[in-house]
Amino acid sequence: MPAAPSLPSNTLAGRGLLLAGLAYTALFFWYSWPLGREWSTAFVGTPHGDANQYIWNVWNFQRQVAAGHNPFYTPALLYPQGTGLWLHTYTPVLGVLNVGLRQEFWAVNGGLLLSFVLSGVGAARLAGRWVRQPLLCGLVGFVFAFSPYKLAHWPEHYHLLLTATVPFYLLAYLDALAFEPGRWLPQVRSWPLVGWGVFLLLITLFSDYYTLAGLVYFSAGYAAWWGLRLGAIDWRHWRPWAGVVVVLALGHFVSRGLALLGLDDNAGVWWGGDLAGYLVPPLGNRWLATPGTDALWRSTHFHAPGSVENVTFLGYLLPLLAVALGVGAWRQRRSGIALPPTSAETRPFWALVLLFAALTMPELRWLGHDLLRLPTSVVHFVPFLNNIRCPTRHVLLLSLLLPLAVCLRLDSWLRRWSGRGSWAVAGALYLGVFIEYQVYSYPFIRAADVPMAYRVAAALPGPVLFPIPFGLLDGYHQLGHMDAAELFYQTQHHKALPGAYISRVPAATFAAFAHEPVLRALLTVQQHPDSLALVPMPTASQLVAFERRYPQAVFVVQPTFRAQPVHELLRSWLLPAGYTEQLVPSVEGNYVLLKPAAR
């Protein structure tokens, strides 16, 4: 490997890292304000949205550990048998934090604060390995920690925010291994650092498997760049470009052929990104979004209108600067002027930028029009690997590699400037990106939002609570209606639920849930209120068996289902059995509490 120019060990160390950490902490509270005032009673989230599951995750983890039970199992869902959580989006790293804190809001909010700050500090330190301008190092950390992708997912998907391991893994990977052109297997420079890298991968596995997949793709792509000698290709000749055309054509026809053969891509191609996602500001952007862009996001031009899964936006300044620097370097080469020297280990970065851009778009798409299946689409036909079925989430690594590659090139130009000029340019770029990345205030979910009916139910005897509506839901199927807010409510009333909202549920569990006679009748009437006369009623013995299976069950009927057929059906069964009704007021209307007779 050619020797890199002599550089300081790292631009950011000690005081610089401390200042960066303080800056990213301030930015966390800036974006999440007024969360700082409600740290122990609220969390960022859309009411009834996915964020509710993360407060439940840490509650269940700590509860199981405190009882001496397996934390990857819960008796609190799918009562009475419970369910395993190994395939659930469980974020056990936050659960471990709650084992010490024993307070769900502190664990969730504190865990996210640590992740944002460490993501920024780690990315800034990674940049400081080659970049001498400190503000540019800080910019790389800011873009990675607070990218539009992460800011868009904050109210919904906390696991996608747990990215602290990423820059530290890249540092360990580069420190531990040495690559040479033509060799796929690197030379190990430090086995302890190899072990540290494996440990970081393990932590990432227990944070988010999409992030883990991104690190695996980075590792393989970096090694492939050296093994295939991509840095030695002379792009001034036609043969390399002909090779690119052949690879693109093969990727398209192989992918189409696999689809025609009936192989399942797990909807990964459908969930792929759209080029417009890189150009249109996402919903909630404070300064760049307009009524026109918001209407476009919600239009059928996107496969999932309005979904955060379409967000691949990186702002305008960094992509435009990348183009400008590329054009400048091309013109400089044509003029015979030598480019500024770069470290050999950074040379694969631009190729990796293209790789991760291609991973976000298995099908090259513009405003919903499919243009070309990229070779990366073939991955979605490989069993196990095609569980990464939301490819736009690979923009996470792009949000690190693009600013890193841009700042590396920009820094080499700024070294010719005076100190003040360098700081002025870097500061202006930082300010511009900061403005691009501003969002409107986030919604919050608060402890006070739990309806009083659930607090009343908590004081009643019996191990199980039936919310009406109820249901069973995973990432593929839905039976009935399971409100994600029920998970948050459960952390307050502590009673088990008959249904569940988890990432993966076996088909046999869905079948058993749907065929239990009493549940089947309730689900049918709940979903089709006009079908009460057609629903086969459970027999007396089936109702007795239901009572034994769900002893002293408490039923909470939401206001919109009060006096509806499912409520009336419950009354006809439960009141003769000794149950009593109680109306519990709330801002949404009156809840109905069906309480078992005291024993």
Work out the average pLDDT over 227-255. Answer: 93
Q: How far is CA 97 from CA 203, 488, 592, in A?
A: 13, 18, 37
Work out the average pLDDT over 508-513. Answer: 89
Contacts of 377 (CB under 8 A, 6+ apart): 251, 255, 265, 268, 269, 272, 362, 363
pLDDT band at 415 (very low <50, low <70, confident <90, very high): confident
pLDDT in tens, 363-389: 999 999 999 999 999 999 999 888 898
Mean pLDDT over the full length of the chain: 93
Q: What is the pLDDT of residue 270?
A: 95
Q: What is the pLDDT of residue 439?
A: 97
Is the Cβ–Cβ distance between 228 and 351 less than 8 Å? no
Work out the average pLDDT over 160-182. Answer: 96
d(CA 324, CA 316): 12
Contacts of 135 (CB under 8 A, 6+ apart): 423, 426, 427, 430
pTM for this predicted structure: 0.94
Q: What is the pLDDT of residue 145?
A: 98
3-state secondary structure of 285: strand
Q: What is the pLDDT of residue 517?
A: 92
In which residue are the tokens 């009562």 written?
79
Give the H/E segment covering residue 273.
Answer: none
Q: What is the pLDDT of residue 487?
A: 97
Work out the average pLDDT over 327-344. Answer: 79
pLDDT band at 599 (very low <50, low <70, confident <90, very high): low
pLDDT band at 1 (very low <50, low <70, confident <90, very high): very low
Residue 328 has pLDDT above 70, yes or no: yes
Residue 114 has pLDDT above 50, yes or no: yes
d(CA 100, CA 41): 18
Q: What is the DSSP letter of 504?
A: -
